[in-house]
Structure 1
Amino acid sequence: MLTETLIEDERWRELRLDSLAEAAGQATFEHLGLDPDAFVISVLGCDDARIASLNAMFRDRPKATDVLSWPSAERGAPVAGAAPEAPETGMDGELGDVAIAFDTCLADADAIGRPPADHITHLLVHAVLHLLGFDHLRDEDATLMEAMEVAILGKMGIDTPYCDDRG
């Protein structure tokens, strides 16, 4: 298993967060040609109060958010728009941690009219890409990361989460 899921908010069990996290991780690794058996990602299924606490502690933003990720090492590409180097196999294997908040995720899915499982899978793919060094702070990096997300989700049978009419 690529992912180890800890459920703090029992409502995640009904949505099968463990299965969604594993599928998102596997699909991301497959798309990038990485061996999922060489790595571990820890996933925390929590509520808004817990993620707000984590967001305050680590990002100085004391409010709930949908998902947070903490890579075990800096893996970002130095050149804007370039893919980060793949993590080395045979090292520790711990890629990092992800926390995802139930209430915010479901409210956001409802607000954008997407099935909760599709929205949560998108957020998990997004978080796994962060653990692998992808980011969206620079425009070129955001374009690359978004394209990766769309391609991975497409292979999973999930429509693009982004609007096609950006004008």
Structure 2
Amino acid sequence: MNYIDLQIATQSDYPATELFQEWVDAALTTRMQESEIVVRLVDEAESAELNLQYRHKTGPTNILSFPFEAPPGIELDLLGDLVICAPLIAKEAKQQNKLPAHHWAHITIHGVLHLLGYDHIEEQDAEQMETLEIEILHKLNIANPYLEESTQ
């Protein structure tokens, strides 16, 4: 099993630690070694600050992924950090007519895939990443999050 360090820096609602564990484990099923991931749940102000500092974009974002690169000669199982904006996840789930837990699962898995090196800047890479997200979510009995009419 993978290790999750869950940090709560928000007053907003968020899923139980066990759900984060399930989602992270599902995203890491093909990875042979155990990993540690820091999941930090934040409010919009902290998300906006980090988004500006690291991506040079204004405003909060649903998730930021920070892969960990160990210095030469140091071996750690730390895969990286995920920073998730809890109030924004709630807003997006409502706007997209999704169950909040399903949207949390999707965003968490999306972030873990970023830590593994997946990206969605180029269309071909985006298709590969989205296909993998859909497959992982399907194994968790969660519908395709990219369908227009989502009645999850």
TM-score (norm 1): 0.80
Q: Distance in 1 between matches of 2:148 and 2:93?
A: 18
1:161 aligns with one of 141, 145, 152:
145
Moved over 6 A (4+): none
Report the residue type matching 1:35 in the other structure: M
Conserved 8 A contact 2:82-2:111: yes
**Residue equivalent to 2:65:** 69
**Residue equivalent to 1:130:** 114
**Residue equivalent to 1:150:** 134
Q: Do residues 4 (structure 1) and 5 (structure 2) align?
A: yes
**Residue equivalent to 1:19:** 18
Aligned residues: CA RMSD: 1.8
- Greater helix share, structure number: 1
Report the residue type matching 2:5 in the other structure: E
Conserved 8 A contact 1:20-1:120: no
Q: Do residues 56 (structure 1) and 52 (structure 2) align?
A: yes
Give % identity: 31
Structure 1 residue matching 2:28: 3-state secondary structure: helix
Give the C-alpha shift of residue 4 in structure 1: 1.0
Give the C-alpha shift of residue 164 in structure 1: 6.6
Structure 1 residue matching 2:126: 3-state secondary structure: helix
5+ residue gaps in structure 1? Answer: 74-89
Report the residue type matching 2:10 in the other structure: D
Q: Distance in 2 between matches of 1:164 and 1:102?
A: 23
**Residue equivalent to 2:86:** 102
**Residue equivalent to 1:43:** 39
